Amino acid sequence: MKTILCFGDSNTWGFIPESITAPFPARHPHDVRWTGILARELGSNVRVIEEGQNGRTTVHDDPFATARNGKLVLPAILESHKPLDLVVLMLGTNDLKSVFGVSPAEIATGVKILAQMILGSDSGCHAKPPKLLILCPPATGQLNHLPDLAAKLPNAFKDSRELPRHYEALAAALDCAYLNTQTLITPGSDGIHLDAAAHAALGKAVATAVKSLLPPDA
């Protein structure tokens, strides 16, 4: 059996867009989330591990939320789930928050740090590194209808659309697989999170990429 780790933020956790104004976030059911779709598409010989967290960043400590720094938790997660055949990494949206003050290129650098941790680890089979698939996260929508969210992410509409070229260059430099989700999906009603249709499309697209990376006889 092959094992895939999906390391991401609220769009891996399954945040329902319409719950953005609710007292607490609601979560898509497992079989609706893209990770669930991925597991279904790949079949029973593949185990898909969800590691999504609302607000997770690449390498930043959020002053308004605890334990959101992906760099700090990734080594333990790799260690606890090994051996891994593949890691699917989709982060960067939360780095767009103004509190971090980083550019799209610097967000990609944060992804690079995580990618190098994965590719330099012994968390794959036979204590070798696992394969890596980097996903550029979806572009954000206009957030004006949610003033509090728009204030936190004032430049996200523009900056998120600059991420693909940096992520693609990063993946090429690291010689790892890459998928630009911005060509496939758009966020739901809140402009950030994915609805059920987007989860389905993403899960199927990732499954296609995974099948080429992990053929049955690999």
Buried b / exposed e along 8-39 (16+ C-beta atoms within 10 A): bbbbbbbbbbeebeeeeeebbeeebbbbbbbb
Is residue 10, in this structure, part of any structural domain at all? Answer: yes
Residue 217: the pLDDT is 58
CATH number assigned to the domain comprising residue 20: 3.40.50.1110
Is pLDDT above 90 for 143?
A: yes
Token pair 């992410």 in the structure block, residue: 153
- Give the range of the structural domain holding residue 208, as residue numbers without chain letter: 2-213
Is residue 218, in this structure, part of any structural domain at all? Answer: no
Q: What is the pLDDT of residues 87-127, one digit of tens each?
A: 999 999 999 999 999 999 999 999 999 999 999 999 999 99
Among residues 214, 196, 202, which one has the least CA distance to residue 87? 214
For the chain, report the end-to-end CA distance as a whole number of angstroms: 11
Q: How far lies 31's CA from each of 34, 51, 70, 187, in Å?
A: 8, 15, 25, 19
Cβ atoms 66, 32 nearer than 8 A? no
Distance CA 198, CA 85 (A): 26
Is pLDDT above 80 for 216?
A: no
Residue 128: the pLDDT is 97
Residue 187: the pLDDT is 97
Is residue 30, in this structure, part of any structural domain at all? Answer: yes
What is the average per-residue pLDDT within 2-27?
97
Q: What is the pLDDT of residues 53-88, one digit of tens each?
A: 999 999 999 999 999 999 999 999 999 999 999 999
Is pLDDT above 70 for 218?
A: no
pLDDT band at residue 215 using 50, 70 and 90 as cut-offs: confident
Q: How many domains does the chain have?
A: 1
Is residue 174, in this structure, part of any structural domain at all? Answer: yes
SS3 assignment, position 120: coil
Q: Which helix (H) or strand (E) holds 151?
A: helix 147-152
Is residue 171, in this structure, part of any structural domain at all? Answer: yes
Q: What is the pLDDT of residues 155-208, one digit of tens each?
A: 999 999 999 999 999 999 999 999 999 999 999 999 999 999 999 999 999 999
